[in-house]
């Protein structure tokens, strides 16, 4: 009997802090309940990373997206992988000191990447851009940093 492998829209998280001069790039998982969550492996970089290196790191993390059926009910906020790799002293400080940027394929065919930045925790408005999944890695990194800059400054 042949089984069709289920395709997923790939995802990763990026957190950038001007205060700590740090970028955290996190691959994500999805469980059988459909909950998308961060993997324990995080890549931390100094914020002076090149567009090419940032784009390469993001695409490598996107390609680590997998189905991993984990029970998340016992998880605490302090177990948050990105927070644990940050330089913040508390979760509240992390949420204030880092800008969250969601990187997600538009659908399971993974042709378009949607880059969505959140200026503040629970922002009503976001900054969004899209680019081809197969674009040059330098363009992807540059686009992520432009979304970050728009979140930080409010200028588009």
Beta bridge partners of 99: 16
Q: Which two tokens stand for residue 74?
A: 């016992």
Would you tell me the crossing angle of helices 51-62 and 137-153 to the nearest 10 degrees?
Answer: 100
pLDDT value of position 5: 62
Residue 141: exposed, middle, or buried by beta-carbon count in 10 A (0-12, 13-18, 19+)?
A: buried
pLDDT value of position 18: 95
What count of other Cβ atoms lies within 10 Å of the Cβ of residue 30?
20
Asked whether the CA dihedral 35, 44, 104, 2 is positive or negative, the reply is negative
Tens-digit pLDDT string for the chain (156 aa): 454 567 889 999 999 999 999 999 999 999 988 899 999 999 999 988 999 999 999 999 999 999 998 888 888 999 999 999 999 999 999 999 999 999 999 999 999 999 999 998 888 899 999 999 999 999 999 999 999 999 999 888
Q: Are strands 66-67 and 36-38 parallel, antiparallel or unpaired?
A: unpaired
Q: What does the alpha-carbon distance between residue 81 and residue 126 come to, in Å, rounded to a whole number?
A: 23
Alpha helices for 22-107 (secondary structure H): 51-62, 81-85, 91-97
What count of other Cβ atoms lies within 10 Å of the Cβ of residue 71?
8
pLDDT value of position 40: 95
Q: Which domains does the chain have, with CATH numbers?
A: 11-153 (3.40.1590.10)
């Amino acid at each position: 009997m042949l089984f069709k492998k289920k395709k997923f829209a790939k995802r990763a998280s990026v957190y950038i802090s001007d205060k700590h001069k740090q970028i955290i790039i996190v691959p994500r998982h999805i469980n059988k309940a459909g909950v998308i969550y961060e993997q324990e492996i995080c890549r931390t970089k100094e914020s002076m990373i090149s567009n090419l290196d940032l784009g390469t790191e993001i695409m490598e993390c996107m390609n680590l997206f997998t189905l991993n059926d984990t029970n998340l009910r016992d998880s605490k906020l302090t177990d948050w992988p990105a927070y644990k790799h940050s330089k913040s002293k508390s979760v509240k400080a992390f949420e204030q000191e880092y800008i969250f940027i969601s990187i997600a394929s538009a659908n399971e065919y993974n042709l378009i990447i949607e880059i969505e930045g959140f200026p503040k925790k629970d922002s009503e408005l976001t900054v969004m851009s899209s680019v081809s999944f197969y674009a040059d890695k330098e363009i992807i990194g540059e686009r992520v940093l432009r979304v970050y800059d728009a979140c930080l400054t409010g200028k588009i």
